[in-house]
Amino acid sequence: MNDFIQVCEPLLAGKEEEYVLDAVKTGWISAQGSYVNMFEDEFAKFCGVKYSTTVSNGTNAIHLGLKALNVSPGDEVIMPDFTMICSALPICYLGAKPIFVDAEPETWNIDPVKIEEKITKKTKAIMVVHIYGHPCDMKTIWEIAKKHELKIIEDAAETHGAEYYGKKCGDLGDIAAFSFFANKVVTTGEGGMVVTNSKDLIDRAKYYKDLCFPLSGERTYFHQDIGFQYRLSNLQAAIGVAQMEKIDDYIEMRINNNALYKKYLNDVGGISFQPEKKGCKNIYWMNAAVVDPIKYGVSRDILMEKLLERGIQTRKFFVPMHKQPALKKYGCDCNGSFPVSSWLSDNGLYLPSGSGLKASEIEYICEVIREIQKKN
Ligand SMILES: *Cc1c(COP(=O)(O)O)cnc(C)c1O
């Protein structure tokens, strides 16, 4: 029981091995094969969208999504300051400029009230990132996008199955990107997916994903545009198909884990979790907690050290975009005031969050958190 508890182990509890071996035996190991098609179909159905295409990872899914929206050099894309750098880099790949908006204190997502002041003639799109499993405040964002004729791209890398008034993430904008990295709710090791309801956008994504080969399947080896090679292999898709058979269980496990943390830490002051706002289904990808060093009595960094001494691995929250040297060098405006994202990044940590975490482990982690407070 006191073995080392990792921050987020993947759970491969279904037919992963069987399907991967099947792919190996049939020889379909590259990007063509039945598992790729099955994975794409299952995932689109799950999200409630019409179209999908697999991609080599989530970052490339965002890149393709932006490319499909025709984000071009000189364009601006509004995005949250508080996210992982994977959200911002693809905007830079396209020669466009990421424009940062602070987080809202309650959900930690992009603050919709602060979006409009950042819109200029160059603004092409708004990127929403549903952080840690909680959907963004889409109603307000839809209104802003409509008023200013902007496209919406969802970075839904952390929100497989999260819902906003009954609609799933991935179905909340013009196009969306998912990740299947090892720590996500469903994984293929490395992998991603682009989903949309637009035939035109999915065709553009598929075209650019595969070196701009004609979608007709013709192989003349004349290429009309500069494409990318972002295909996912049938081997990885085989894992994805097995994961999709369990996705509802995995989501339930994450939600239950978070409920246990909240229950056991109920009387420990100074540790707070992301809420679930009205109309939203938070899938709690991570058990993301913010430490109030005064109320809890110990800082985030000391808490992390002491948890590690007791065999509990944690991670700090993301470093916000305005503090990223790479983005500053690229020419992003990093001078604004981002008090909420700075507060999150200084005080936030992920407690162990894997779907397969045992209730007894969560109880143990919470006991240790309580002891650390008592001793200080
Ligand atoms: C995981 C993640 C991505 C993409 O991850 P990949 O490792 O490229 O698959 C993008 N955005 C956010 C917010 C993420 O958490």
- Our mutation pick for probing the ligand 1 site, out of 55, 179, 319, counting the most ligand atoms within 8 A of Cβ, is 179
- Our mutation pick for probing the ligand 1 site, out of 62, 64, 79, 86, counting the most ligand atoms within 8 A of Cβ, is 86
Structural domains in the chain plus CATH codes: 16-244 (3.40.640.10), 247-374 (3.90.1150.10)
Contact criterion met (CB below 8 Å) for 43 and 193: yes
pLDDT digits (tens, 9 = 90+) for 253-299: 999 999 999 999 999 999 999 999 999 999 999 999 999 999 999 99
User: Residue 132 has what pLDDT?
Assistant: 97
User: Residue 330 has what pLDDT?
Assistant: 98
* For the CA of 57, the nearest atom of ligand 1: 9
User: Residue 159 has what pLDDT?
Assistant: 98
User: Residue 7 has what pLDDT?
Assistant: 95
Structure tokens at 168: 């799933």
- Determine whether the shortest distance from the Cβ of 57 to ligand 1 is under 6 A: yes
pLDDT beyond 60 at 131 = yes
Distance (Å) from CA 179 to ligand 1 centroid: 6
SS3 state at 12? coil
Q: Quote the crossing angle between the two packed helices 58-68 and 85-93, to the nearest 10°.
A: 40
List Cβ neighbours of 293 (8 Å cut-off, separation of 6 or more): 270, 299, 300, 347
Average pLDDT over residues 123-134: 98
- Determine whether the shortest distance from the Cβ of 83 to ligand 1 is under 6 A: yes
User: Residue 1 has what pLDDT?
Assistant: 47
Q: Positive or negative CA dihedral for 122, 105, 273, 170?
A: negative
Distance (Å) from CA 59 to ligand 1 centroid: 6
- Determine whether the shortest distance from the Cβ of 65 to ligand 1 is under 6 A: no
User: Residue 376 has what pLDDT?
Assistant: 82
Question: Which residue, judged by its Cα, is nearest atom 14 of ligand 1?
Answer: 157
- Our mutation pick for probing the ligand 1 site, out of 87, 193, 284, counting the most ligand atoms within 8 A of Cβ, is 87
pLDDT digits (tens, 9 = 90+) for 179-208: 999 999 999 999 999 999 999 999 999 999
pLDDT beyond 90 at 111 = yes
Question: Which residue, judged by its Cα, is nearest atom 2 of ligand 1?
Answer: 157
Question: Which residue, judged by its Cα, is nearest atom 5 of ligand 1?
Answer: 58
DSSP state of 318: P
- φ and ψ at 82, to 5 degrees? -95, 95
Q: pLDDT band for position 2 (50/70/90)?
A: low
Distance (Å) from CA 128 to ligand 1 centroid: 13
* For the CA of 62, the nearest atom of ligand 1: 10
User: Residue 3 has what pLDDT?
Assistant: 81
- Top pLDDT among 148 and 375 is at 148
- Determine whether the shortest distance from the Cβ of 192 to ligand 1 is under 6 A: yes
Distance (Å) from CA 212 to ligand 1 centroid: 24
